[in-house]
Amino acid sequence: MILKKLTTSFIAAGAASAFFLTSCNSGGNATVAKNEMILTQEKDSIAPWFVGNKITKNGVVKPADSLVTLESDADFHLWSWQMFLWLMSQDDKAFVFDSAGFFDLSEQDELLPNGTDSKNVRFIRNGQAGMMAHGVLMSQDKEPTINGSLVYYGIHVNDTFAYYVSGQKNNDPAIVAMTDFPTTKPELEVIEAYAKKAYGANITTPEALAMEMKSSWVEITDEKAGKEYITTQAYIPVYKKDSTGKKWIWDGKTRRKAFLAMVGFHVVGSTAKHPEMVWATFEHEKNSPNANYKYDDHGVTKEVKNFTSAGLPIEKDWLFYDVKTNMKNANIMNMTLTTANDGSTIIKAEPSKSISAGSTYRISPYGNKPTEAKKNTLLRNINKSIRGQLKSGDARKEYFLVGSIWTDNGVPGVNNSVPIFAGSTKLANSTMETYTQYNNCFDCHTTQKGLTLSHIAPVIKPLQLPKK
């Protein structure tokens, strides 16, 4: 009854770290080897993650306890999976990440509280992150999209994040004394006390610590069209095309209601000893092909061939890849986005290109070099195990964890030090960092102290204080 013991232990600890008891070393190949061995036991149950301790279709999942120290690579990846399943749980028809206790970031950098009457106008960004240019992604003209779709992005934070950043912006002495995102119970209590004192608010899920998320979506005809996707309704920008077709302009105001299907999701949060945050990303399995990569099959290194030697994809059904395109010509930006001073947004075709779908593949499958067989194997096995346990018809089953990254020294840059990356050190989401896949999260989210780690925290306007 080993399985029962594992489960009991997991419930008691309430944390992913106890899930695979034998995977308790920190990082390194030895840990990977151990995890690999364990993760081939696909019956290890994720039932304790669910409310009621039973895996059910679309069942509500509990958040991972981020105050528990994550030790092994598997621990981090499992934290990511549990958080994803929790955030994508639906309660009263609202996803957790889109319900009370969470905020969406507006184009004006305001935190918009979620609520039953919110109009969900938040998935309106079309530009990707980028050091020098914001690339714009469009899907192929295939189901479930309508004639191909621009990809829309949303940015979301939880209440711990929102009150922490607001306290920093409002110069609350106790919050300002915290130089990093919270990782301990006492730090969490400071934020809870501030939320109560300044806003009369309670933190809804304190054990999740501070979290920020980014989501990517495509437009679909209706909910049914996206039955294998996590879907929502939102108001999206209406672009006007200029006469050349090389420029689409959104006035920053005009929107229309649309059905959207989620294609990607970043889960980012602080955990014990990791103020630099764990950065994880998920994608829909139909998004984009992986580059050819290696994995370990019971001690034998094997290769997964996703492209022929001529550079054409073997699998034909991809939302972001035209099967006639040679991979040499993939991941090329067709258009970029700029925001004009008057708030209007312009999508402009690159020289010699048109505003159209390109082809995208994942350069670093599982966020690792294609040749890193052991690390790839760990993620393959974790995905296989968890997705295998989710019930048919649960749309979360159609997504997979690309990978998670954190730093081994666990701290942001202090006194001119540099981070030692751990986990999926070449992590990128093919729908969000399509054209900057060569970077990992920390290349842009520099692990310096304080709010600069997050791109949104320094620019967010603090939550409005209640009138006295």
Partner 1 sequence: MSYFDYPRLHFSGKFIADPSTINNYPANNLANGDLSKMQLYWNPDGTGDFAFEDCVVTKVEYADGSIATTKAEDSIVGESVSSIKNFMLSGAIVDLDPRQMMVSTLFGLNFQIGGDENLKGEFSSTPFNGIWNFPPTTASATYQGSMKNLSFSASSSSKYLKEIQSNAKLSINLTVTQYNMSPQLYSFNDNTFASMLSAGVPQLILDKIEDFKTFSQYQGQNHDKFGDIPTQRYVSKLLVKYLGRSDYNKYQEIIFSETKANYEPGSPFEFTKGLIVGTVGPELAAEPEFVVSSRVLVPSDSSVTSFTYFNVTGTDTGSKVQLNFANSFQIDRKSQPLGFNDVSDLYLARVSEGQVSQILHESPLPLSGSFLVTSAGFLQIDVDSDVSSSPISLVKKSDDGSYTVIQEENIDGYFLRADQFVYRMNPNSTGEYGKNAELKVYVYQYGQPVEDGVEIDISLNKLDMNGGTAISFEDAALKFESTKVKTVSGVATFKMSCIEPTGPFPNDLDGDVYNINYKFTNSSLAGYKFASGDSVSVHVYQSEVSLTGKEVLQQYGEIYPVMSWLTDEALVKERKGVVLSLLQQPLTSISHMPVTRDMSIAKRKLAIEWVESL
Applying CB under 8 A, the residues found at the interface with partner 1 are 130-135, 328, 331-333, 336, 338, 340-343, 350-352, 363, 409, 415-420, 434-438
CB of 132 to partner 1, least distance (A): 5
The smaller minimum CB distance to partner 1, of residues 323 and 332, is found at 332
Helix (H) or strand (E) holding 387: helix 373-389
Tokens of 216: 């990517």
Per-residue burial over 290-314, b if 16 or more Cβ lie within 10 Å, else e, is bbbbbbbeeeeeeeeebbeeeeebe
User: Is the CB of residue 225 less than 8 Å from the CB of residue 218?
Assistant: no
Written in H, E and C, the secondary structure of 40-96 is CCCCCCCHHHECCCCCCCCCCECCCCCCCCCCCHHHHHHHHHHHHHHHCCEECCEEH
CB of 432 to partner 1, least distance (A): 14
User: Is the CB of residue 441 less than 8 Å from the CB of residue 427?
Assistant: yes
Tokens of 332: 């090329």
The smaller minimum CB distance to partner 1, of residues 124 and 327, is found at 327
The smaller minimum CB distance to partner 1, of residues 336 and 404, is found at 336
- Relative orientation angle of helices 73-87 and 373-389, to the nearest 10 degrees: 40
CB of 156 to partner 1, least distance (A): 23
Q: What CA–CA distance (Å, rounded) separates 362 from 430?
A: 6
User: Is the CB of residue 137 less than 8 Å from the CB of residue 130?
Assistant: no
CB of 331 to partner 1, least distance (A): 5
CB of 421 to partner 1, least distance (A): 8
User: Is the CB of residue 436 less than 8 Å from the CB of residue 130?
Assistant: yes
The smaller minimum CB distance to partner 1, of residues 116 and 416, is found at 416
CB of 459 to partner 1, least distance (A): 10
The smaller minimum CB distance to partner 1, of residues 184 and 446, is found at 446
The smaller minimum CB distance to partner 1, of residues 359 and 376, is found at 359
